[in-house]
Amino acid sequence: MINRPVSRVLIEDRQAAELCRRRVTSLTNIVIAIVSYVAVVSALTFSTGASWVLAVVAIVMMRWISITVLVRRGVSSKLQLQAHAVGATASGLAWGALPALLWGSGGFVEFAFAGFVIAGTTAGGLSSLSWYRPAYLGYLLGATIPLAAVYLLQGSVLFVAMGGLVLFYAAVLTATSVSFGQQLQETLQLQSTLEDEREELSSARADLRLAARHKWQTLAYLSHHLRTPMNAVIGFSDLMASESLGKLGHPKYRDYAEGIQFSGVEALRAINAILDVAEIETGTMTLSFSDEDLCALVAECVAEQSSNAASRKVALRCTLPDAPVFVRGDPKRLRQILDGLISNAIRFTPKTGSVTVNVSADDKGWWALRVSDTGIGMSEEKIKEAFIPFVRLDNPLTQEFNGIGVSLTIARRLTTLHGGEFRLDSDIGRGTTAVVRLPARVGRSASKRREIEMVSPT
């Protein structure tokens, strides 16, 4: 909810600031007063005309000086607005004094000129003084009421008509200033509300960033402390399964030990994945860069995944240039990207389907690694969800797909850390293609290429 008193103060601050910024327009009153004096000098005595001009100049300067002093002293915006209203009313009365001074000595031309000048100044003041309605109304009424009174007191039909029009003109400007002032108030209120909301959103965003950082730090802490006991479980179960220290007795014990070892390895993989995501999100992951042959890494990963593909009756094909393709990267993390993408493609490809790994140069001189499958594919919305850590796109209760939903997240983040680009293209029922683009290592990549094909046994 918006704090109403605070919003009112903010609005008054904006009004005072705008009036202060536009106060330079009050200096035009001096120029207009001098021109007016010259125009009607024949109908005024020198002392009367000079005194009026000096009064206009004095009021303008006092307005300027008083506002400057109030601003520098840090006086509240409300008092500044009141000062603006007093100064504007004084200026309006100074203009209203001009037709009164012409009473008895001025002719029709002088009175008409005075009306023309006052009409112009009050219309011009609408844009500069309407930020604070009392200031403009003081200026408008102070200038027009005396003018209308002088016109009406002349008695002739023409002057009476002019006086009536002046009053009508003042009423129209009053209504315009009221409407304009209301719109300004609504605009300022909306701006104040938006500022409040922006501050709340900024604070909430900062809290969310802090909470997210604490979340990943906590996950990293837990994953780190789960590694040690899980390594012990895997190590001891391996000793038991291999019966290194002697027979276990019942044959079932060996089966149990192998099951414990398998489950421990799977759990450790999940823990390591969580720790990797946590390190990436908190910015604590460090990479050890070196010149690596991308083709050699791909060939090794494909060979390691061949048995996995064969067990699922999925054809695993790999098309590579015959010459080395060097990129700058961390070999461990590059393998992690490749293993994650290939195993993901195999996991989501049905039997008799195929997974193809391809390395080729693109039009920008970068190397593009593509891992394509003929699997179930996903919609555009699901692609966005796929990059959210721990979001699984399958139903773990009804599907055979395993994993904790971080492989694509890790692959994209690691690609970015290598200075590359990651893209996922997919369509439901037509499979998925993951594209990893990495900058080529200048001077190391060969230009002559011959493609070969490796197919995993099915």
Spatial CA neighbour of 366 closest among 421, 303, 290: 421
Q: What is the pLDDT of residues 245-264, one digit of tens each?
A: 777 777 777 777 777 777 77
Q: Which residue has the tokens 């009175």?
A: 111
Lowest mean pLDDT among 71-75, 194-198, 222-226: 222-226
Q: Provide the 10 A C-beta neighbour count for residue 101.
A: 20
Lowest mean pLDDT among 197-201, 210-214, 332-336: 210-214
CATH of domain 290-455: 3.30.565.10
Tell me the average pLDDT of the chain. 80
Q: Which residue has the tokens 């920008």?
A: 364
Is 70 exceeded by the pLDDT of residue 391? no
Give the β-pairing of 354-361 and 421-427: unpaired
398 or 187, which is more confident: 187
Quick one: which H or E segment has residue 140?
helix 133-154
**103 by DSSP, 3-state: which?**
coil
Q: Which residue has the tokens 């007016």?
A: 36
Q: Provide the 10 A C-beta neighbour count for residue 343.
A: 19
Q: Which residue has the tokens 């001025």?
A: 106
State how far the Cα of 377 lies from the Cα of 291, in Å rounded to an integer: 34
Give the β-pairing of 290-293 and 431-438: unpaired
For residues 423 and 412, the answer to whether their CB atoms sit within 8 Å is no
pLDDT of residue 335: 92
Which segments of 305-349 are extended strands (E)?
Answer: 315-320, 326-329
Q: What is the pLDDT of residues 31-90, one digit of tens each?
A: 888 998 888 888 888 888 899 999 999 998 998 888 888 888 888 888 988 888 898 899
Domain boundaries, the chain: 4-202, 209-282, 290-455
Q: Tell me the C-alpha to C-alpha distance, in Å, between residue 356 and each of 20, 175, 242, 302, 434.
A: 70, 76, 37, 10, 11
State how far the Cα of 199 lies from the Cα of 176, in Å rounded to an integer: 34
State how far the Cα of 274 lies from the Cα of 277, in Å rounded to an integer: 5
The pTM score is 0.49
- Which residues are within 8 A (CB) of 97 and not within 5 positions of it... i.e. 6 or more apart? 52, 55, 146
Spatial CA neighbour of 93 closest among 121, 70, 131, 126: 121
State how far the Cα of 78 lies from the Cα of 214, in Å rounded to an integer: 45
State how far the Cα of 20 lies from the Cα of 14, in Å rounded to an integer: 10
Sequence letter at residue 67: I
Across the chain, which distance is largest between two alpha carbons, in Å?
132
pLDDT band at residue 315 using 50, 70 and 90 as cut-offs:
very high
Question: DSSP for 252-305?
Answer: HHHHHHHHHHHHHHHHHHHHHHHHHHHHHHHT------EEEEHHHHHHHHHHHH
Mean pLDDT for 403-431 is 85
Is 60 exceeded by the pLDDT of residue 449? no
